[in-house]
Structure 1
Amino acid sequence: MFLSSATNALDAKGRVSVPADFRSVVAGSEFDGIIVWPSFDGAYLEGGGIDLLKEYQRSLETLDYYDEGRIALQRAIFAESRRLPFDSGGRVSLPKDLHEYAGLNGKVTFVGLGRRFEIWSPKAHAERTENIRKLARENRHRLRPVSVPDGSLPSGGLK
């Protein structure tokens, strides 16, 4: 899973080091890199590995071929996605249009979200964090323990 947050330098050529923990999540997959696209929720990027995109594809295949929502999601995710291979130092090159879209200038913040991650400008991420914590507090009651195959709760279940 993509966990934690890290802020790294974005050089003049658009190269940024992907956190080692993030690189390990996609290690061994059929594509040695990450995939990113402009978020349709705001001025930041979303991303993940090839397995996440395959999961999105499987989910979208449950909708009718010409469903407007399906087509919109396909265009917003797949048509705007970029495959960013790792270089020998674990860096990727963010295309200029993507770092302009997200307002990235000099530094970027990677935010792990489990199966996917986000890339923010550090300032925008800091401004958003307080609102996200408030929303999480308001929704914490929605977290429920999930039973394991034998019907019991996992050890250390939610309290």
Structure 2
Amino acid sequence: MFLSRNTNTLDAKGRVSVPADFRVEVGAGRESGAGIFDGIIVWPSFDGPYLEGGGIALLRDYQALLENMDPYDDARIAFERAIFAESRRLSFDANGRVSLPKELAEYAELNGQVTFIGLGRRFEIWNPAKYESQSASARKMARENRHRLRLAGHRNISGDGAGTGTGAAS
């Protein structure tokens, strides 16, 4: 699971160190048969000037969700183009760094510092100042919608048809 917030330096060559626990997380996906790629996958968010990312397992989950849609549905095609066509595989170097392509760094307005935001199964990469400017509103929205999280505990969030009703999340 991708957790926490980490800010690292983006060097002049476009390299940034991926947080160690993020590297462990994508490695765990590799060990479970999700693929042999040793790195992360990122794409420009269609929701703002930041990057979204994860491992191969996340992309396979997105693919499975999209395959439930009509293959000619305009929304499905838009999601496939926005996620899969724009994705970049970024391999780890010996020091746990990746090289961010210039167009992705420019899209997310990254220069000097990069903030990794863990979001469970996925993560985001932000310009630190831009992230700070929106994080208070995100906390406010979470507070205002906390009842929805409680309600979600009564539904089966695993998708296997066997809800526990305990509200516990793993």
Class of the TM-score when normalised by the shorter of the 2 chains: over 0.9
Residue 153 (str. 1) matches residue 159 (str. 2): no
Moved >3 Å (runs of 4+): 146-152
The match for 1:129 is 135
Contact 1:147 1:153 in 2 (8 A): no
Q: Aligned partners of 1:46 and 1:67: how far apart in 2?
A: 23
Report SS of the residue matched to 1:27.
helix
Q: Aligned partners of 2:87 and 2:24: how far apart in 1?
A: 21
The match for 1:66 is 72
Report SS of the residue matched to 1:84.
strand
Contact 2:154 2:164 in 1 (8 A): no
The match for 1:112 is 118
> Could you report, residue by residue, the CA deviation over 1:57-98 in whole angstroms, capped at 9, with x for unpaired residues?
000000111100000000000000000000000000000000
The match for 1:57 is 63
Report SS of the residue matched to 1:26.
helix
> Could you report, residue by residue, the CA deviation over 1:1-25 in whole angstroms, capped at 9, with x for unpaired residues?
1000000000000000000010000
Q: Which amino acid aligns with 1:37?
A: W
The match for 1:35 is 41
Q: Aligned partners of 1:140 and 1:132: how far apart in 2?
A: 12
- Aligned alpha-carbon RMSD (Å): 1.8
Identity of aligned residues (%): 65
Q: Which amino acid aligns with 1:51?
A: A
- Gaps spanning 5+ residues in structure 2: where? 31-35, 157-161
2:90 to 84, 89, 92: 84
Q: Aligned partners of 2:128 and 2:141: how far apart in 1?
A: 20
**Quick check: 142-151 or 96-105, which moved more?**
142-151
Q: Aligned partners of 1:26 and 1:138: how far apart in 2?
A: 32
Contact 2:17 2:95 in 1 (8 A): yes
Offset of residue 150 of structure 1: 9.1
Q: Aligned partners of 1:52 and 1:152: how far apart in 2?
A: 26
> Relative to structure 1, is the Cα distance of residues 57 and 150 closer, same or farther in structure 2, using a 3 angstrom cutoff?
closer
> Relative to structure 1, is the Cα distance of residues 23 and 146 closer, same or farther in structure 2, using a 3 angstrom cutoff?
farther
Q: Aligned partners of 1:134 and 1:151: how far apart in 2?
A: 29
TM-score by length of structure 2 reads 0.87
- Gaps spanning 5+ residues in structure 1: where? none
The count of corresponding residues between Structure 1 and Structure 2 is 156
1:94 to 95, 100, 117: 100
Contact 1:84 1:92 in 2 (8 A): yes
TM-score by length of structure 1 reads 0.93
